[in-house]
Amino acid sequence: MVTRFPAVALMAALGIMSYAQDKPASQFPLAAPAGKDSGAITKAPAGAVNQGMLDPSTWKFGPAWDAPAGAKIWNPVMIKMMKGEKVTGGTVFSSDSPETYCAMANAGYDFIWTEMQHDSRDWEAVGRMWKACPHAKAVPGVRVAYTDEREIQHAMDLGALVIVVPTIRSVAEGKLARDWTMFPPLGRRSRGGGQAFDPDMWGSVPGGYRNTINQNVVLIEMIETLDGAKDAREIAAIPGVTAIFAASGDLGNFSGYEQGAPDYERLINIVHDAALQAGKRLCGPFAWHDRPDFTCFQNGNETAAIARGVAAELGPLKDTQGKPEVGPYAPKK
């Protein structure tokens, strides 16, 4: 019995050595040791590009999300914007019906201006509409309520390819709108998923959605106030801004002058000059589609489009209903 113990001990030792040799390499070879401060705040691992104390202001952004070399633009609205061609945006103002949205999206516009500033629908309804026909003729776009991370993040995660941000009053607000629209390094958009990443939305685009969306999303910033007009040149020059919009209604609202008045026209021309100086596109209402240098437009809403379509279809038969003498359809006396 005594002679067996050394043999058992030897076999146990050999088993431990064998286990150590067969144990796979750590899944986290650069992880901090358990229970020990790694000192990573001041010292980077060997081979890291960013050495020394962690400093966001000098951080060299890595290549993981670079667009592939020679990647082509896949958003048709951005293609037209880059060429300086005229772009139209049909407004879906109050409907939350996927059928109505898809009818508008296939009616011939370049993008759909889904109204979220002056309508009370929720983002869940917007997502349903966009998902119903993601590859319709018109790409999904939206005017968000204001310069806000939540609003713009919801729009982008649901698949917006055109973002319109109203009442930009300063360069700081213009930069925030850009930041929440764009992924790093240009912006600060968080990567949290959403239906935009689905294969039947943009998840299968050439080059990958995360890698190419910054080059494809169209960002339009609206100049609507005197403060915005004052800073219009600097707002238009913000990297990532595709176009600025001369807001015909609110520039009148905030100035006290109507279209045609010299003071009103001065404000519109200030926005015009800012776009030209920055080499950006100039947007306005569709009524201005022949105004010099305006190349992108907000068109009428879904109810107006139905009325125009019916009028075009019926021609002289429009509004020729019968006129009974009695009942609810009789002429009011």
**pLDDT tens track for 168-186:** 999 999 999 999 999 999 9
- On whether residue 86 sits in a domain, the answer given is yes
In this structure, is residue 20 part of a structural domain? no
Q: Domain for residue 327, yes or no?
A: no
Mean pLDDT for back-to-back runs of 10 residues, the chain (333 residues): 47 49 72 94 95 96 95 98 97 96 97 95 96 97 96 98 98 98 97 94 96 98 98 98 97 97 98 98 97 97 94 94 91 82
Q: What is the pLDDT of residue 6?
A: 52
**295 three-class SS:** strand
pLDDT at 233: 98
Report the candidate in 157, 132, 298 with the shortest Cα–Cα distance to residue 220: 298
Query: Any idea what the CATH number is for the domain that residue 171 is in?
Result: 3.20.20.60
What is the pLDDT, as a whole number, of residue 2?
Answer: 45
pLDDT at residue number 31: 94
Full residue range of the structural domain in which residue 289 is found: 77-315
Amino acid letter for position 200: D
Torsion of CA 115, 219, 295, 216, to 10 degrees: -110
Q: Which residue has the tokens 């144990």?
A: 23
Residue 251 covered by a domain: yes
CB within 8 Å of 117: residues ≥ 6 apart? 143, 144, 145, 146, 166
Contact 42/52 with Cβ under 8 angstroms?
yes
90 located within any domain = yes
Would you state the pLDDT for residue 192?
87
11 lies in some domain: no
* 84 Rama sector, left if φ>0, alpha if ψ -120 to 50, beta otherwise: left
DSSP 17: H
Reported as a single tens digit per residue, the pLDDT across 42-87 is 999 999 999 999 999 999 999 999 999 999 999 999 999 999 999 9
3-state secondary structure 77-133: HHHHHHHCCCEEEEEECCCCCHHHHHHHHCCCCCEEEEECCCCCCCHHHHHHHHHHC
Q: Which residue has the tokens 């809403």?
A: 301
Number of domains in the chain: 1
320 inside domain: no
For 158, residues 6+ apart whose C-beta sits below 8 A from its C-beta are: 123, 126, 127, 130, 140, 194, 195, 196
The C-alpha torsion from 92 through 93 and 96 to 100, rounded to 10°, is -40
Is 35 within the bounds of a domain? no
What is this structure's pTM?
A: 0.89
Measure Cα distances from 23 to 16, 17, 26, 35 in Å.
Answer: 10, 10, 9, 22
